[in-house]
Each structure stands twice: as C-alpha cells, then as structure tokens.
C-alpha cells in the first residue's frame, strides 16, 4: 500500500490532488496534516464515503509551532514508510497595501519558515529510507516581483530557491529521492475566490491537480500548472525592466 503524506491537506488544491490519487490507485494510505481540525474531520468523513478502500490518518496543529511540527513528521516516518509527500500549506492576503507587522511576519512564517522546516525534515527522513518523492508548492508569483503581491511572491521565490538548492544536493549525492517544484498559475480555489468574484478566468482546480499528481509521480523537477505558464513566465522573466515596469500586471 502506497503512503502519501499531505501537509496543508484541507486546501482546495490538496483535496483535488487526493481525489486524483484515489482515481489512479485503489489502495492508498493518506496522512493528512492541517491547521483546521474541523475542516480536516469533514474532509476525512467525505473521503471515507467516496473511497472506502483508503486508510486515513488525520493530524491537526499550528504550523507556527515548529518543534512540534517537526516531531510529528519524524513520528510519522518512524511509524511507516512514506512514499510521497506533498507540501501544500501557504497563505496570502488579498490586499498587501496595508498589512500590519503581525500579518507580514505571519505570512513569512507560514510560507517560508514552516515550509522550509517541513521540506528539510521530510528530505532527511527520506534520505534515511533512500527513497521517496516530494512535491512542494511555490507559485508563478515567485518568478518575478509584481506590484499586486510582491510580499507573497517573495515568499514563493524563497521556496523556489530553497527547493532548487535541495534538488542540486540530491543530484550530487545521487540519492534515490525526487523533489518536484510546483508552480501553479491562478487557480479557482477558496484562496482566489476574490479573483473569481472580479470576473477573472482561472484554471480548474481538478485540471491543475491532475497535472501536479502526474508530474510528481513522474519525478518532474518543475511543474507549471497549467503548462502554458511555463511559456508565460519565461517571457515575463526575460523582459527588460524598462519594459516590465510599464506593464500593469
């Protein structure tokens, strides 16, 4: 039985990924870690009804409690062999123009600190078992700073660089571990509901989840979802700043 660990399991895109895995394989064990115990319980109840053959373990905690977070991850690896880990947790504010100091620190702690700790812990445990696949969420927002969400984008740029460094380390050590850096474009989730309300056309969460699950299983180093965002961001990153600064994007 394959075991899949998902951190940030109650997010819309994580739930869609769970459904995709359940379509691909009948016999699965999921370890679902989230901040919201009530939402996690509701998710597990729904999954048990939809997919009676899967095994579910539910864990809820504050991602800001880093030592407790790390110990929980270590305990799960000691309990069972984990084949795949998906690190989804993250946070964003709809308007970054008037953030309080606490909001700024909160965003950095969740998007950078907790993700880095999680990725590092999972990598080290998979190194001990000399196998495993990891998918970690960044965003196309981290590819170039824009006026609308440069703090959020900066946290995602951190994750991209951190992950690339770990990928480099794994390649040099020739370890049997893969890390996929996941960069979704704007996707119709609860986090982006404000964009949907503004009439923006966003990618389907199920389509994006399918690309992510297939990409992680195939050990792709970078997953842009939808794929068109690879081309879009390549162009945006190559634009000289004197042109880029004129664009209202």
CA–CA separation, 40 vs 44, rounded Å? 6
What percent of the chain is predicted at pLDDT more than 90?
Answer: 84
* pLDDT score of 249: 80
* Residue 30: strand, helix, or coil: strand
What would the mean pLDDT of 21-32 be, rounded to a whole number?
A: 93
CA–CA separation, 219 vs 126, rounded Å? 15
What percent of the chain is predicted at pLDDT more than 70?
Answer: 96
CA–CA separation, 225 vs 143, rounded Å? 14
pTM listed for this prediction? 0.93
* pLDDT score of 195: 63
Structural domains of the chain ordered from first start: 2-244 (3.40.50.720)
Q: Report pLDDT digits (tens) over 106-132.
A: 999 999 999 999 999 999 999 999 999
* Residue 174: strand, helix, or coil: coil
* pLDDT score of 76: 97
Nearest to 192 by CA among 214, 215, 177, 208: 208
* Residue 84: strand, helix, or coil: strand
Q: Report pLDDT digits (tens) over 190-204.
A: 666 666 666 667 789
């Amino acid at each position: 039985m394959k075991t899949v660990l998902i951190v940030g399991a109650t997010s819309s895109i994580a739930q869609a990924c769970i459904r995709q895995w359940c379509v691909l394989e009948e016999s699965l064990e999921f370890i679902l870690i989230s901040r919201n115990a009530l939402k996690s319980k509701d998710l597990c109840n729904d999954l048990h009804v939809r997919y009676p053959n899967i095994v579910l373990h539910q864990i809820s905690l504050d991602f800001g409690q880093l030592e407790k977070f790390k110990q929980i991850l270590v305990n799960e690896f000691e309990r069972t062999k984990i084949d795949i880990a998906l690190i989804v947790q993250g946070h964003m504010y709809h308007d970054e123009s008037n953030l309080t100091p606490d909001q700024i620190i909160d965003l950095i702690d969740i998007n950078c600190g907790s993700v880095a700790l999680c990725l590092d812990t999972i990598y080290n445990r998979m190194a001990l078992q000399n196998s495993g696949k990891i998918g970690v969420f960044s965003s196309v927002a981290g590819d170039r700073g824009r006026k609308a969400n440069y703090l959020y984008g900066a946290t995602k740029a951190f994750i991209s660089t951190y992950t690339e460094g770990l990928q480099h380390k794994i390649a040099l050590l020739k370890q049997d571990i893969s890390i996929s850096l996941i960069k979704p474009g704007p996707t119709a989730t609860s986090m982006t509901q404000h964009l949907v309300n503004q009439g923006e056309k966003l990618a389907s969460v199920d389509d994006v989840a399918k690309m992510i699950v297939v990409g992680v299983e195939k050990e792709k180093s970078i997953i842009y979802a939808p794929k068109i965002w690879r081309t879009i961001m390549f162009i945006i990153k190559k634009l000289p700043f004197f042109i880029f600064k004129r664009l209202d994007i």
